[in-house]
């Protein structure tokens, strides 16, 4: 023990747990340690694998079990695991000691990037004083943010399943591939069941396709009276190993749906889909980015109350538990990598690029089977006008499409349409703009002209559908002014109204979505423009509505009623689910 030891909950960010201001903004290594007793049956069976899995840890992790290093992982927001069987088996009754060293330092080559700046002026700063510079507008929370679990499989086990689907009105095809590790001698049994438990298709091959007659398609929320319909694909493996019969079983939720992009539309199951949703953050009081089930449940109730059918995982992959509910509720997701704040030329070099490719591999492996995920976003607001950006994004997007040819790929830009060097490679243009906020501040009257020009310039240049992926204004709850002035609830409402008028004209043509920034207020670094964080939420950080929430609710339900074939009474009931 080389320093103070404190109790730390997992999952949680460590920053806001104590009263120590140095921990709030701490940069560097922290250590976690826990001892657990494993079940005896795990330790006495030679045919059992014991696996240690982390849902995520921010940012760089080294893990030891009983003093033996078992895994290193770079990057937050995505899972990693290690087979620890050889370390723990043969030692029944001895506690299993799990030790994690975690470093939250961001460099020009991490995702997200950052830089360490040493202050050399000894008249103004203490010796060895440094700060972590970041180029993104949310707090760099750190810690073990998602659950840590120990689980077992047989020594011959199902390692991976990949599913894609196609469908017509009367028949659907579920293409699948099962990866088995541990032996070449095994048998498989696959059963696809509907929600009533009825078997609708079977197979005994490791790869093939299942035919489903009269399928129930996976539909987004408010596009169907039964959104988020999921089948269950049960995969059973049996294998012989040293005279023992081994069995592994995995059940994968499967949504049957198709995605297609034209020059003016985004089609789900062949029908035009309009994104009316939000951008979010994993962010809350005290626990920071730590997984919080009550907060997740509250957020999904608010999303459905709002009439939101979609969100972007700004600006990193969200917890698997959140994604599970998107699949089940029919909430459409633009799944974004943690590549936010790529601004410096050195962040476009080969070292950064190779890490970015690995991150996309990890993200797609985790979320490839989710029907809610309809598009990958490889970055947010990069300096895509810099010369290296063309090759960089051409490579990342091509790699993403090679890993998953079934989904469109985008990144979110705030660059000038004429200078963006990565835009030729995306399938959908996603644009962030803050007219009358970050420039022409307070001048709501310029929004119609500037926003209309933005859409027309992008579409004329690329002939691709456009999503307004961010727009909004800060509002301090309870602050009022008439006429509307910046930071009041009235100004936020008025700004949204100006944007919506333009959206309503352009969504008749090629604008396919609008995602408000942001769903809720969230914490940022301290600064002269940030009073306890970013206040662009339509809900407060504690999930209480501002005036803008009611504006969006009225709008989103109106759009849903216009575009849906559902009887209005069903949507009225949905308000109170």
The strand ranges marked E within 66-184 are 68-74, 80-83, 96-103, 114-118, 130-134, 148-154, 157-167, 171-181
Largest CA distance in the chain: 81
C-alpha to C-alpha distance for 272 and 270, rounded to whole angstroms: 7
C-alpha to C-alpha distance for 30 and 71, rounded to whole angstroms: 17
Is 247 an active-site residue?
no
Q: How far is CA 261 from CA 96, 272, 374, 528, in A?
A: 51, 9, 10, 42
C-alpha to C-alpha distance for 238 and 246, rounded to whole angstroms: 6
CA 343 to chain CA centroid, nearest Å: 21
Q: What DSSP character marks residue 293?
A: H
C-alpha to C-alpha distance for 300 and 331, rounded to whole angstroms: 9
Three-class DSSP category at 60: strand
CA 388 to chain CA centroid, nearest Å: 26
Q: What DSSP character marks residue 199?
A: E
Catalytic residue among 381, 470, 489, 498: 381
Token digits for 154? 């047989």
Residue 334 near residue 375 (C-beta atoms within 8 A) = yes
C-alpha to C-alpha distance for 124 and 126, rounded to whole angstroms: 7
Cis check for the bond before 24: say yes or no (omega within 30 of 0): no
346 Cβ contact partners less than 8 Å away, ≥ 6 residues apart: 108, 109, 352
Angle at CA of residue 55, ends 99 and 163, nearest 5°: 140
Q: What is the 3-state secondary structure (H, E, C) of 330-343?
A: CCEEEEECCCECCC
Burial of 547 (0-12, 13-18, 19+ CB in 10 A): middle
Catalytic center residues: 381
């Amino acid at each position: 023990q080389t320093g103070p030891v404190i109790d730390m909950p997992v999952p949680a960010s460590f920053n806001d747990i104590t009263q120590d201001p140095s921990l709030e903004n701490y940069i560097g290594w922290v250590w976690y340690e826990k001892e657990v007793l494993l079940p005896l049956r795990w330790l006495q069976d030679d045919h059992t694998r014991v696996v240690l899995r982390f849902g995520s840890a921010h940012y760089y992790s080294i893990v030891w079990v009983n003093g033996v290093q078992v895994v290193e992982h770079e990057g937050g927001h995505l899972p990693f695991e290690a087979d620890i069987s050889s370390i723990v088996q043969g030692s029944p009754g001895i506690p299993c000691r799990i030790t994690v060293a975690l470093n939250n330092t961001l460099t020009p080559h991490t995702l997200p990037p950052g830089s360490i700046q040493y202050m050399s002026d000894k008249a103004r700063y203490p010796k060895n004083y440094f700060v972590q510079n970041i180029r993104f507008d949310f707090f760099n929370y750190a810690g073990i943010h998602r659950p840590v679990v120990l689980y077992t499989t047989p020594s011959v086990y199902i390692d991976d399943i990949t599913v894609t689907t196609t469908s017509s009105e009367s028949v659907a095809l579920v293409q699948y591939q099962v990866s088995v590790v541990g032996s070449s001698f095994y048998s498989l049994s696959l059963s696809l069941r509907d929600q009533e438990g009825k078997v609708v298709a079977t197979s005994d091959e490791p790869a093939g396709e299942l035919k489903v007659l009269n399928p129930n398609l996976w539909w987004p929320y408010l596009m169907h009276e039964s959104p988020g319909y999921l089948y269950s694909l049960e995969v059973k493996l049996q294998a012989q190993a040293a005279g023992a019969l081994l069995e592994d079983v995995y059940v994968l939720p499967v949504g049957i749906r198709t995605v297609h992009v034209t020059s003016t539309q985004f089609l789900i199951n062949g029908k035009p889909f309009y994104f009316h949703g939000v951008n979010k953050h994993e962010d809350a009081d005290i626990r920071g980015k730590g997984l919080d089930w009550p907060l997740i449940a509250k957020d999904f109730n608010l999303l459905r109350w709002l009439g939101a059918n979609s969100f972007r995982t700004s600006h990193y992959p969200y917890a698997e538990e959140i994604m599970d509910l998107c699949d089940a509720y029919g909430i459409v997701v633009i799944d974004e990598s943690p590549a936010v704040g790529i601004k410096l030329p050195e962040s476009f070099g080969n070292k950064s690029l190779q890490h970015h490719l690995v991150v996309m591999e990890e993200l797609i492996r985790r979320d490839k089977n989710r029907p809610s995920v309809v598009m990958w976003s490889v970055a947010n607001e990069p300096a895509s006008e810099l010369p290296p950006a063309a090759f960089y994004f051409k490579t990342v997007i091509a790699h993403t499409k090679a890993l998953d040819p079934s989904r469109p790929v985008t990144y979110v830009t705030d660059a000038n349409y004429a200078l963006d060097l990565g835009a030729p490679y995306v399938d959908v243009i996603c644009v962030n703009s803050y007219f009358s906020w970050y420039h022409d501040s307070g001048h709501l009257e310029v929004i119609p002209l500037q926003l209309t020009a933005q859409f027309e310039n992008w579409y004329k240049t690329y002939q691709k559908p456009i999503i307004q992926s961010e727009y909004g204004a800060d509002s301090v709850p309870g602050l009022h002014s008439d006429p509307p002035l910046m930071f009041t609830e009235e100004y936020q409402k008025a700004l949204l109204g100006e944007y919506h008028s333009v959206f309503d004209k352009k969504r008749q043509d090629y604008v396919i979505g609008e995602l408000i920034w942001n769903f809720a207020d969230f914490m940022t670094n301290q600064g002269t423009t940030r009073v306890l964080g970013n206040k662009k939420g339509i809900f407060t950080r504690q999930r209480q509505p501002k005036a803008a929430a009611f504006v969006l609710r009225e709008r989103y339900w109106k759009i849903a009623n216009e575009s849906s074939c559902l009887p209005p009474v069903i949507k009225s009931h949905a308000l109170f689910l």
